[in-house]
Structure 1
């Protein structure tokens, strides 16, 4: 499975990516802004994580893609779509290594995978969660077309502090309507 956008390639992770994943996810600022990346990032954990991504992809329960810059072939981040088959929905999650922040890579990758989720996987709903303090990720969700659905106050405990978590989502009918409006505006 392979996708291409204007500036990016999205492909499954490979064992050779472990060193770069380890380096990028070991950044405290990255871990601070995410719900699930540990800090310090355990040595050798990237190898285990990449293996688990491959196994989940084979089962169709999760699709994790390395975000690769076309020009330099650098791995800059990850985009994952976790599938709940029994509910026909997918959870979107992503991270971008700190040296590559503020370039729109997460938005560009998210739009591509949202299209794939609705058009190819025929999912009915896509959703994502974010710590309310992570304004950059909130902007990615908005620019990717996800709509604000609500906030759970003090929903997670991160590094000894309770954090509010905001939820964004989109159902297929909304996606189709937005896509039709965008196409009509381009005519």
Structure 2
């Protein structure tokens, strides 16, 4: 996922929402300072950083502390979560939804450490994140994006109900410059329909 917010957002927060429902193999909850070693080990990876907009490389312990602190702020229309393996409780990545700019569209972001790629964990995490956003906020549309060279991230978005919108360019700190991205959207009405079909089966 390319777009993730790095600034402090509107702090006129609603009461903290419940945590997302657990998925089959992962659960989402708040990252903690005792996750710092795992976070730095997984995030300090050029291949991870190059697919995101604001993640630096190298990724230091100070970067990790700042990320954990930000994820635990109660902000309006913004939530950040650790992605954990249910079997061990180990942090394997992060996910969030947030306004990139005040009053702007709400974007989702997600990343997994490289040892956990290709196992369906990101799709489970994004499903749980999307459900949380639409169940506990008044958000009407979510936006997601991925680098055009990242088919795995594209599959996560499509499997989560997002529909292709257009292409654009974005600056990526980890990639060291501007990169082409594909942008996707998911409306609340589409999400409701998809949830209804799933319950019908």
- The normalised TM-score by structure 1 is 0.87
Residue in 2 that maps onto 1:2 = 19
| Whole-angstrom CA distance in 1 between matches of 2:68 and 2:199 | 38
Deviation, 1:82, is: 0.7
Residue in 2 that maps onto 1:39 = 57
Residue in 1 that maps onto 2:118 = 102
Query: Do residues 53 (structure 1) and 71 (structure 2) align?
Result: yes
Q: How does 1:167-182 map to 2 (within 5 A)?
A: 167-182=183-198
**Unpaired segments ≥5 residues, structure 2:** 1-17
Helix, strand or coil at the partner of 1:81: strand
Higher RCO (C-alpha under 8 Å, 6+ residues apart): 2
| Whole-angstrom CA distance in 2 between matches of 1:175 and 1:61 | 17
Higher helix fraction: Structure 1 or Structure 2? 1
| Whole-angstrom CA distance in 2 between matches of 1:115 and 1:160 | 33
Deviation string 1:94-142 (CA, Å, 9 cap, x unpaired) is 0000011111111101111111211221310011121111111111101
Aligned-CA RMSD value: 2.0
How many residue pairs end up in the alignment? 181
Residue in 2 that maps onto 1:82 = 98
Higher strand fraction: Structure 1 or Structure 2? 1
Query: Do residues 111 (structure 1) and 127 (structure 2) align?
Result: yes
Deviation string 1:31-85 (CA, Å, 9 cap, x unpaired) is 1222221111134210122112222xx2335211111111121111111111477
Query: Do residues 136 (structure 1) and 161 (structure 2) align?
Result: no
Runs of 4 or more, structure 1, over 6 Å off, are none
8 Å CA contact 1:61, 1:85 repeated in 2: no
Helix, strand or coil at the partner of 2:47: helix
- The normalised TM-score by structure 2 is 0.81
8 Å CA contact 1:5, 1:108 repeated in 2: yes
**Unpaired segments ≥5 residues, structure 1:** none
Helix, strand or coil at the partner of 1:164: strand
